[in-house]
């Protein structure tokens, strides 16, 4: 049994003795197979358990949820955590006469953008931006698939402030570094389902060393939540085994922009320094008519 699943069963079992007879019917149904809740409305569950719909809502509140909707979201999150890449691919929609695969993925991305706007407030964005601006040292970490947004975010954060370290290997070097810089550091940790054990162990180590952690994850039962001092939840609703991250990258772009607005002059100064360096290194292609070196002929 998975940790989240065990915690959920324990939550129901702990409340069970206090429940009324009708609520115990609901609890019995859930303990038998909680997965069915993901496909049932409160009305359908009430009919199945032979209780009233308000009883379902009160039962949900007894378990610590705001209502039945939050209970079902919690259950769906647990189910998603247990799905492998193969499971998600087998359940992905294929081609149809109505929409192409690309259209399906675009529709899914639009839905994720709408969810992003509904779930992340401006105040939340500003609070995290302030922490990333004021802390002396920032570690940006992500592992496996989460390495992609970690590299993206860390790269642009380095353009506007100093003392930024990107780590997607979670090697012994970063463990030593955070142990020696715990007081003036913050870890910006990105981790989505299926939550690699390596990043969880790293954050547990950081927590023991009293390093502040900002988590970016996809649901409230993510193990990253309990290890974070601040966190943002961005739901990832996919239609294949490939997790969609366009809206995650947009959030990270907005966070970078929010940091620059705290001290625009300082951000401009940092960007000018970056531009001066890359120009000196001839880092990027330009349309300048620079002579092209051609190796001499052997003749």
Where helices occur in the chain by DSSP H, the ranges are 3-15, 21-32, 42-49, 53-62, 68-82, 85-90, 101-119, 122-134, 147-160, 172-180, 197-208, 223-227, 246-262, 264-280
Residue 161 has pLDDT above 80, yes or no: yes
Mean pLDDT of 43-61: 94
Mean pLDDT of 234-253: 90
Higher pLDDT, 78 or 129: 129
The CATH number given to 116-280 is: 3.40.50.10490
Task: State how far Cα 12 lies from the chain centre.
Answer: 27
Q: What is the pLDDT of residue 239?
A: 83
Mean pLDDT of 55-77: 90
Contact yes or no for 166/154 (Cβ under 8 A) = yes
Report the alpha-carbon distance of residue 27 to residue 63 in Å, rounded. 10
DSSP for 150-187?
A: HHHHHHHHHHH-S-EEEESS--HHHHHHHHHS-TTEEE
Which tokens go with 191? 């981790």
- In CATH terms, the fold of domain 3-82 is Arc Repressor Mutant, subunit A (1.10.10)
The rounded percent of the chain whose pLDDT value lies above 90 is 58
Report the alpha-carbon distance of residue 103 to residue 108 in Å, rounded. 9
Looking at the DSSP assignment, which residues form a beta bridge with residue 232?
Answer: 216
Domain with CATH 3.40.50.10490 in the chain: 116-280
Where helices occur in 209-263 by DSSP H, the ranges are 223-227, 246-262
pLDDT band at 10 (very low <50, low <70, confident <90, very high): confident
Which tokens go with 108? 């899914």
Residue 145 has pLDDT above 70, yes or no: yes
**Could you count the other beta carbons within 10 Å of the beta carbon of residue 190?**
30
Mean pLDDT of 66-85: 79
Q: What is the pLDDT of residue 1?
A: 47
Domain with CATH 1.10.10.10 in the chain: 3-82
Residue 84 has pLDDT above 60, yes or no: no
The overall pTM is greater than 0.75: no
């Amino acid at each position: 049994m998975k940790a989240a699943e065990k915690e959920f069963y324990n939550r129901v079992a702990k409340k069970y003795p206090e429940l009324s007879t009708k609520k115990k019917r609901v609890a019995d149904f859930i303990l038998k197979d909680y997965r069915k809740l993901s496909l049932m409305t409160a009305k359908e569950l009430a009919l199945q358990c032979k209780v009233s719909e308000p009883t379902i809502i009160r039962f949900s509140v007894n378990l610590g949820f705001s209502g039945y909707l939050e209970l079902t979201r919690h259950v769906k999150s647990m189910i998603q955590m247990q799905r492998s890449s193969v499971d998600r691919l087998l359940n992905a929609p294929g081609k149809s006469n109505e929409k192409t695969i690309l259209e399906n993925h675009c529709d899914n991305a639009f839905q994720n953008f709408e969810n992003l706007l509904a779930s992340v407030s401006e105040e939340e964005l500003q609070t995290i931006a302030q922490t990333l601006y004021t802390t002396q040292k920032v570690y940006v970490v992500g592992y496996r698939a989460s390495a992609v947004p970690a590299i993206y975010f860390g790269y642009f954060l380095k353009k506007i402030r100093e003392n930024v370290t990107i780590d997607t290997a979670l090697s012994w070097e970063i463990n030593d570094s955070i142990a020696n810089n715990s007081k003036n550091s913050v870890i910006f940790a990105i981790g989505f389902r299926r939550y690699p054990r390596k990043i969880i162990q790293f954050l547990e180590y950081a927590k023991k060393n009293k390093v502040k952690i900002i988590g970016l994850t996809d649901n409230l039962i993510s193990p990253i939540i309990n290890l974070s001092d601040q966190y943002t939840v961005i739901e990832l609703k996919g239609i294949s085994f490939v997790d969609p991250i366009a809206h995650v990258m947009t959030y990270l772009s907005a966070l970078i922009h929010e940091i620059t607005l705290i001290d625009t002059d300082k951000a401009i100064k940092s960007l000018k320094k970056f531009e001066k360096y890359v120009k000196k290194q001839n880092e990027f292609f330009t349309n300048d008519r620079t002579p092209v070196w051609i190796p001499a002929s052997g003749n």
